[in-house]
Structure 1
Amino acid sequence: MSDAPLISAQSLVKRFGDFTAVDGIDVEVAPGESFGFLGPNGAGKTSTMRMIGCVSPVTDGSLRIFGMDPATDGRKIRARMGVVPQLDQLDKELTVEENLVIYGRYFDLTRKQARAKAAELLDFVQLTERADSKVDPLSGGQQRRVSIARSLINDPDLLLLDEPTTGLDPQARHVLWDRLYMLKERGATLVVTTHFMDEAEQLCDRLVVMDGGRIAAEGSPQGLISEHVRREVLEVRFGHGKNEEQVPKLEGVGGRIEVLPDRLLIYADDGDAALSELHRREVVPESSLVRRSSLEDVFLKLTGRTLVE
Structure 2
Amino acid sequence: MNTEKQPLIQVKNLSKYFHINKKETLKAVEDVSFDIYEGETVGLVGESGCGKSTTGRCIVKLYNPTKGTVLYKGRDIFDSKNKNEKLEYCKNTQMIFQNPYSSLNPRMTVKDIVGEGIRLHEKISDKELDDRIESLLKTVGLNRDHMSRFPHEFSGGQRQRIGIARALSVDPKFIVCDEPISALDVSIQAQVLNMLKKLQKDRSLTYLFIAHDLSVVKYISDKVIVMYLGMIVEQADAVELYKNPLHPYTRALLSAIPEADPNIAKNKQRIMLKGEIPSPINPKECCRFVERCSYAKPVCHESIPTLKQYTDGHAAACHLL
| TM-score normalized with structure 1 length | 0.72
Specify the alignment match of 1:56 in structure 2: 63
Aligned counterpart for 2:8 among listed residues 2, 6, 9: 6
Task: Give the C-alpha shift of residue 95 in structure 1.
Answer: 3.2
Q: Matches of 1:174 and 1:293 in 2, distance apart?
A: 28
Name the aligned partner's letter for residue 76 of structure 1. Answer: E
Q: Give the equivalent residue in structure 1 for 2:142.
A: 127
Q: Residue 40 of structure 1 aligns with which residue? A: 47
Structure number with bigger Rg: 1
- Where do 5+ consecutive residues of structure 2 fail to align? 20-24, 81-85, 256-260, 280-321
Distance in 2 separating the partners of 1:101 and 1:202:
31
Residue identity over aligned pairs, in percent, reads 24
Q: Distance in 1 between matches of 2:276 and 2:179?
A: 19
For the 8 Å contact 2:224–2:241, the answer to whether it is kept is no
Q: 1:147 aligns with which of 154, 160, 163?
A: 163
| Per-residue Cα deviation, 1:37-75 (whole angstroms, up to 9, x for no partner) | 101122111121111011211222232123222223344
Kindly indicate whether the alpha-carbon contact (under 8 Å) linking 2:177 and 2:208 is maintained by their aligned counterparts in 1.
yes
Once the two structures are superposed, the pairs formed by residues 126-275 of structure 1 within 5 Å of their partners are 126-128=141-143, 129-186=145-202, 187-228=204-245
Determine the structure 1 residue equivalent to 2:93.
Answer: 81
1:36 maps to amino acid: G
Please report how far the alpha carbon of residue 292 of structure 1 lies from its aligned counterpart in structure 2 after TM superposition.
Answer: 11
CA shift in 2, pair 1:214/1:122, >3 Å: same
Distance in 2 between residues matched to 1:113 and 1:305, nearest whole Å: 58
Specify whether residues 15 and 94 from structure 1 end up closer, same or farther in structure 2 by C-alpha distance, changes over 3 A only.
closer
Which ranges of structure 1 fall in alignment gaps of 5 or more residues?
Answer: 230-255, 259-264, 266-271, 273-287
The change in CA–CA distance for 1:195 and 1:8 in structure 2 (over 3 A counts) is same
**CA distance in structure 1 between the aligned counterparts of 2:95 and 2:51, rounded to whole angstroms:** 18
Q: Partner of 1:248 in structure 2?
A: none
Letter matched to residue 118 of structure 1: I
C-alpha change, 1:107 and 1:305, in structure 2 (3 Å) is farther
Distance 1:28 1:188 in 2: 15
Amino acid at match of 1:137: E
RMSD: 2.9
Match of 2:130, SS? helix
Residue-by-residue CA offset, 1:76-114 (whole Å, 9 max, x unaligned): 311211211223322334432332123321222413333
CA positional deviation for 1:134: 2.8
Q: 1:289 aligns with which of 235, 250, 263?
A: 263
Q: Are residue 69 (structure 1) and residue 87 (structure 2) matched?
A: no
Instruction: Give the match's secondary structure for 1:136.
Output: helix
Counterparts of 1:147 and 1:54 in 2: how far apart (Å)? 18
Q: Could you tell me how far apart the structure 1 residues matched to 2:228 and 2:267 are?
A: 21
Letter in 2 for 1:108: E
Does structure 1 conserve the Cα–Cα contact (< 8 Å) formed by 2:70 and 2:77?
A: yes
> How many pairs align?
249
State the alpha-carbon separation in 1 of the partners of residues 29 and 211 from structure 2: 17
Instruction: For residues 132-159 of structure 1, give each alpha carbon's deviation from its aligned partner in whole angstroms, at most 9, with x where no partner exists.
Output: 4332110000000000001100000111
- Structure 1 residues 170 and 60: CA distance shift in structure 2, 3 A: same
Q: TM-score, normalised by structure 2?
A: 0.69
